[in-house]
């Protein structure tokens, strides 16, 4: 019985030490802890990347519209070239 009581007290002390360590461990919600600072840094980086993605998607849309306009202009110029070629042949 004495041995079991001693083992129980050792386990209770070890359990208390482990609980204290758990309470003192890094928490991502605590901005003063290393894990909290890293979490905040990654969150900020994610926000910047999301903003950059949004900006790039907007630029892509602008370029797509510009490309469509240029394709339309190219088609019109080809049609004019054909008409002018026909007129040049008639003039010859």
Kindly report, residue by residue over 22-35, the tens digit of the pLDDT. Answer: 776 667 777 777 77
> DSSP secondary structure string, 66-91?
HHHHHHHHHHHHHHHHHHHHHHHHHH
Number of domain units in the chain: 1
Rounded Cα distance between 11 and 18, Å, is 10
Give the residue numbers spanning the domain of 28.
1-91
Q: Over the chain, what is the mean pLDDT?
A: 92
Q: Global pTM?
A: 0.55
Sign of the alpha-carbon torsion through 35, 38, 40, 46 = negative
pLDDT in tens, 78-91: 999 999 999 999 99
As given in the structure block, the two tokens for residue 27 are 């928490």
């Amino acid at each position: 019985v004495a041995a079991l009581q001693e083992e129980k007290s050792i386990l209770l002390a070890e359990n208390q030490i482990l609980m204290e360590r758990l309470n003192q461990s890094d928490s991502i919600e605590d901005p003063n802890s290393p894990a909290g600072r890293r979490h905040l840094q990654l969150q900020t980086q994610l926000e910047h990347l999301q903003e950059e993605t949004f900006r790039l998607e907007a630029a892509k849309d602008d370029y797509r519209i510009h490309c469509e306009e240029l394709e339309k202009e190219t088609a019109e110029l080809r049609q004019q070239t054909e008409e002018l070629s026909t007129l040049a042949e008639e003039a010859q």
